[in-house]
């Protein structure tokens, strides 16, 4: 059974062969800006298990990051929905933006990163490991 997802307008659709692996929350300022929200929810997916079934996203290379690593941020060129991020240091993995999944019921964060830059009004998830940076 495949897992499906798409952008807001439906021009970019994808499927996964298996449930995503590690899931988490990123509070870094760049994810806040990219998501237009307080944080970004992510799921690690092996690249070979991630396939586009419709359309192709556009790429923005985010070079001004706290980690010093360039983050490749893929998004729908029509509606702007973020689809996934990728790191050159981890070429076999993509970090799916879980809000684009058709069914988000399986999302359970297992980590919280860059908590030192979280919004002041955000309460961290109890029982979920929280890292000040990455």
Residue 54 belongs to domain with CATH number: 2.170.150.70
Q: What is the pLDDT of residue 8?
A: 97
Strand order in the sheet with 50-54: 3-6, 13-16, 50-54
**Residue 126 domain flag:** no
Q: Which residues of the chain have pLDDT under 50?
A: none
Retrieve residue 7's tokens: 């952008």
Q: Which domain holds residue 83?
A: 3-117
Residue 62 included in any domain: yes
DSSP letters spanning 73-102: EEE-TTT--EEEEEETT-TTEEEEEGGGBS
Question: Angle at Cα 28 formed by Cα 116 and Cα 126, nearest 5°?
Answer: 60
| Predicted local distance difference test score (pLDDT) of residue 116 | 93
Into how many domains does the chain fold? 1
Specify if 112 maps to a domain.
Answer: yes
Are 35 and 121 contacting, i.e. CB atoms less than 8 angstroms apart? no
């Amino acid at each position: 059974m495949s897992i499906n997802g798409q952008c807001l307008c439906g021009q970019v659709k994808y499927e996964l062969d298996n449930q995503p692996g590690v899931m988490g929350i990123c509070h870094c300022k760049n994810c806040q800006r990219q998501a237009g929200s307080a944080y970004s929810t992510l799921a690690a997916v092996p690249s070979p298990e991630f396939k586009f079934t419709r359309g192709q996203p556009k790429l923005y290379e985010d070079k001004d990051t706290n980690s010093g690593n360039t983050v490749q941020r893929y998004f729908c060129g029509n509606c702007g929905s973020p689809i996934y991020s990728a790191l050159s240091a981890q070429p076999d993995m993509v970090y799916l933006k879980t809000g684009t999944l058709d069914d988000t019921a399986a999302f359970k964060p297992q980590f919280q990163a860059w908590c030192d830059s979280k919004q002041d009004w955000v309460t961290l998830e109890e029982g979920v490991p929280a890292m000040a940076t990455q």
